[in-house]
């Protein structure tokens, strides 16, 4: 996603709908190239199970954003934890709606409560999960799209194998290589 363009449009939108329409009509502001108009309701979400407990509700994927970005609402149940990893090509953001998201980066755990934002630039090693006692709800986004393909692949894998089994580990490594994930091992304690 072109962040400069996003900021321009956001600034104009803050002035109200009429100035936006006038600016578009006058040609001062052009619609962002490559990103189609998208309106999605909750019924449009694609829902996938997360290994370790929870679900991913993907609203925007590379398929409906021309590969520019992805977005979903995630529920991470108590005990859910990703492995320590990074994304070579994807910038990732987490916005906590409720609960506490545990985010490991820079050698320590950060506990992000409701209203907190975590931004992981591409190449930044991190792990995330729920070290608490109640589910965590997070909006996750990333650009460009591609990483989000991990969620349907993982959902299918969970239907065929058991997490931790040799077959699961071998298939998960293949999924990682296709979905812009470089695993660095288990999440630090």
Res 12: pLDDT: 44
Q: 5 pLDDT band (50/70/90 cuts)?
A: low
CATH of the domain at 63: 2.60.120.10
Q: Using the 8-state DSSP alphabet, how is residue 188 labeled? A: P
Q: Does residue 80 share a domain with residue 61?
A: yes
User: Looking at the structure, do residues 22 and 47 belong to the same domain, yes or no?
Assistant: no
Long-range CB contacts (within 8 A, 24+) of 159-167: 163/51, 163/52
- The whole-number pLDDT of residue 18 equals 45
Instruction: Let me know if 121 is exposed, middle or buried by CB neighbors in 10 A (0-12, 13-18, 19+).
Output: exposed
> Is 94 found in the same domain as 71?
yes
Res. 189 pLDDT band, cuts 50 70 90: confident
Among 126, 133, 103, 107, residue whose Cα is nearest residue 116: 103
**DSSP classification of residue 126:** B
Q: Are residues 110 and 160 in the same domain?
A: yes
Can you give the residue range of the structural domain that contains 10? 1-33
Question: Residue 24: is its pLDDT beyond 80?
Answer: no
Predicted confidence (pLDDT) per residue in 128-175, tens digit: 999 999 999 999 999 999 999 999 999 999 999 998 899 999 999 999
Same domain, 69 and 1: no
Q: How many domains does the chain have?
A: 2
Per-residue model confidence as pLDDT tens digits over 27-81:
544 455 567 788 999 999 999 999 989 999 999 999 999 999 999 999 999 999 9
Q: Are residues 71 and 2 in the same domain?
A: no
* 27 & 68 share domain: no
Residue 23 has pLDDT above 50, yes or no: no
76 and 140 fall within a common domain: yes
Model pTM score: 0.80
Query: For residue range 82-95, what is the model confidence (pLDDT) as tens digits?
Result: 999 999 999 999 99
The CA angle 85-53-81, to the nearest 5 degrees, is: 25
Dihedral (Cα; 69, 70, 76, 80), 10-degree rounding: -60
Instruction: Verify that 74 and 3 share a domain, yes or no.
Output: no
Sign, CA dihedral 121-59-36-150, equals positive
- Two tokens at 135? 């589910």
pLDDT of residue 33: 58
pLDDT of residue 7: 44
Whether residues 92 and 177 share a domain: the answer is yes
């Amino acid at each position: 996603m072109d962040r400069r363009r996003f900021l321009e449009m956001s600034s104009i939108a803050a002035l109200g709908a009429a100035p936006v329409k006038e600016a578009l009509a006058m040609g001062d502001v052009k619609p962002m190239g490559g990103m189609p108009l998208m309106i999605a309701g909750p019924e449009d979400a694609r829902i996938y199970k997360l290994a370790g407990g929870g679900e991913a509700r993907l609203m925007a994927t590379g398929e409906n954003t021309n590969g520019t970005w992805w977005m979903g609402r995630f529920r991470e149940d108590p005990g859910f934890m990703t492995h320590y990893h990074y994304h070579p090509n994807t910038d990732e953001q987490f916005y906590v709606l409720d609960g506490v998201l545990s985010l490991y980066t820079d050698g320590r755990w950060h506990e992000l409560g409701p209203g907190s934002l975590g931004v992981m630039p591409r190449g930044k090693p991190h792990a995330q999960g729920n070290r608490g006692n109640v589910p965590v709800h997070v909006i996750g986004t990333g650009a460009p799209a591609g990483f989000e393909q991990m969620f349907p692949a993982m959902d299918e894998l969970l239907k065929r194998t058991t997490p931790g089994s040799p077959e699961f580990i071998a298939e998960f490594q293949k999924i990682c290589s296709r979905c812009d994930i470089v695993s660095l091992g288990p999440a630090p304690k």
